[in-house]
Every structure is written in C-alpha cells, then in structure tokens.
Amino acid sequence: MASNKKIIEEVSGWLRVFDDGTVDRTWTGPPEAEFLMKSVPPHEEFIEGVATRDVTINPNTGLAVRIYIPEKNTDGQNNKNKLPLILHFHGGGFSISQANWYMYYHFYARLVRTTCAVCVSVYLPLAPEHKLPAACDEAYAAFLWLSAVARGESSESWLETYADFRQVFLIGDSTGGNLVHHVAARAGSTDIQPMQLLGGIALHPGFQRAEPSKSFLEMPEIPLLTRDMINKFMSLALPIGSTKDHPITCPMGPLALPLTTLKLPPMLVVVAENDLLRDSELEYCEAMKEAKKDVEVLINHGMGHSFYFDKLAIDMDPKTATQVDKLFEEITNFINKH
C-alpha cells in the first residue's frame, strides 16, 4: 500500500523528516560511501587488538554506550597497569550517527590501540525527535555513570578491571566536540571524586554563530559537510526559537556562561584548515586563551571537516593518511602529558 506521508525536511543523503513526525535515516548518498554508516556488531573477543561490548546504562531512557578495550596491557590487576579512560561523544549535527557506525569503529578502535586506553562511546539521542539539550544531558548522564562506577555505586566489569578513573579524558568529533566543552563545564562544578577529569579533546567542533563567519561563507564545500547540511541540522536540533548563538553551538558567545567563570580541564582543539567551521572554532580557541584557560590548538593543514573518518581518502591519498597519523600522535601526546 502506498504511503501518504510527505517529506517536510530533507538533508540530502542523510535524513528525511515526514509530516507525521517520523524520520528516515537510510543512507541515500553515494553507494561507495555507505560502508562508513554500516553498524559494526560488538565483539568481546579481540579482533585486530580490540574488543568491544555494548552496555545499557539507563534502562528507563535506553541510554547506552559502546566500550572498547585494547588487547595489550589488559591484565588490570593493579592500578599501575590500569589504562586511561576516554569518554567519546559522536558528531552528526545532533541529528544523525550512531556510536556503532563503521566510521567511528575504525577511528576509535585505532585510538585505543594507539593510546593504550579504554574508550566509552555514547549512543546519543538524535534530533528532531530529541532536540537540544537532549544530547548534552545524556552525554553528561554517561559521564556521571562513569563517576558512579568509580565510586562503586554502579558496576561494569571491563571498566572496573581495566580503567584508571583518575585519568579520564573527553573526546568528541564535530558536534561531539561541543559536548566535550559542555560536559567539562558541568563537571567542573560537580564532585566527581575519586574520578579525575584530566583533559578534553574537541575534533573539528561544531561551534557556530548566527552571523556566518568568513570561512563558512567562502570555504569550498565537501561532501561530508555543506552549508545546507549545517543549516538544516541546526534547524532540526536547536530548541524552537533559538539561533546558532545558543550556548551549545556558541559557547564563546553572549548567551553562554562567561568562559572565565568555568572550571575547565586542559583542552586540545583540532581545527581543519579547509573546514567551513574553521573561523568559529579558532574564535573559541582565542576566547579560551583570553579567559586564561589551558588550550592547545592543532591545525590539520590542507584538510576538510572530519577527514579522519574518510577511510576511502585515507587508503588512497598519502597526504590524508599522513595527517591522520599526525592527529593520532598529537592525541596520544596530549593524553600522555596530562
């Protein structure tokens, strides 16, 4: 029977919103890229040096995480052998993506091998069904769950065995980078002992203003990020009546808490030279420095938004592969020195 549903909003390739409120996120872009959006089942046996499991941490809301552990140094019998713990928030304009997609699996499996760390990746609620601040609240709920495990108030066997809760880092790509800032800011005013938040890593964060920046207006678009995609994702995700000056998208803007008032850990902000969002990301970095915050900036020269997920380019283009290698090296250095 033919459906009478009408599409009322569409983000080319990524999603279609229908007049009855339902959303179809079936990939309709280039078929050769579809594998990046395929889900990877969890595997508790080690494959290429990494094991994964999915855990529901709040049965009432359905909040779940994917945990990655590396094969080496996983005896975990004493604190000396325990590993840094990285909490990951995925991107996708707050509207698409799942923590189990191959693009994330490929990157974060490599990250735990390279850094010899445990990674917990959060399955975030998506807009428009769950508008902001839903993703922010659930990201923070996952962070509080880690602190509950650290205190023995909640239980997760892999984390209890392998993770050093005194070495916790946040990492987020694209709009997940926005969540790194906001979870870190909330954590700064919360007693999370004995857990210690040592740093935040924002990879090409989705910082924006209502007034478009020069890079947003003039930078060439790439398939992974177009102006239309950004504008539509934000209109789906932001609360009704809000603009991109909302504190979640513009933490350096006048509607956000002043950065000087926030207790933030050291931050590594990674900016792609050819990113539409470059200028607003750099504006955030400058605002952080002016607020006397500890912020390091890494520029990916010649690269576009989220290039590190494009496995086709990484496999075929030595320049891209070299930049990805450098990115992993800098993330590892940041974790090791904090």
| Catalytic site includes residue 174 | yes
| Catalytic site includes residue 24 | no
DSSP 8-state assignment for residue 239: P
Which one of the listed residues 275, 279, 306, 310 is annotated catalytic? 275
Answer positive or negative: Cα dihedral of 84, 85, 89, 91.
positive
Q: Which positions ≥6 away from 158 have C-beta within 8 Å?
A: 53, 67, 69, 118
- What's the rounded Cα separation, in Å, for the pair 268 and 281? 12
DSSP 8-state assignment for residue 150: H
Which one of the listed residues 97, 121, 174, 213 is annotated catalytic? 174
Instruction: Check if the beta carbon of residue 120 is closer than 8 Å to that of residue 88.
Output: yes
How big is the CA angle at 73 (ends 72 and 77), to the nearest 5 degrees?
Answer: 145
Q: Which two tokens stand for residue 188?
A: 């700064």
Q: Which positions ≥6 away from 268 have C-beta within 8 Å?
A: 199, 200, 201, 202, 295, 296, 297, 298, 330, 331, 334
To which residue do tokens 């935040």 refer?
Answer: 200
Sheet arrangement for strand 50-58: 50-58, 63-70, 118-123, 83-89, 163-173, 197-203, 267-272, 295-300
- What's the rounded Cα separation, in Å, for the pair 61 and 82? 30
Which stretches within 151-212 are classed as H helix?
157-162, 175-187
Instruction: Check if the beta carbon of residue 30 is closer than 8 Å to that of residue 24.
Output: no
- What's the rounded Cα separation, in Å, for the pair 323 and 329? 10
Q: Which two tokens stand for residue 167?
A: 């070495």
Catalytic site positions: 174, 275
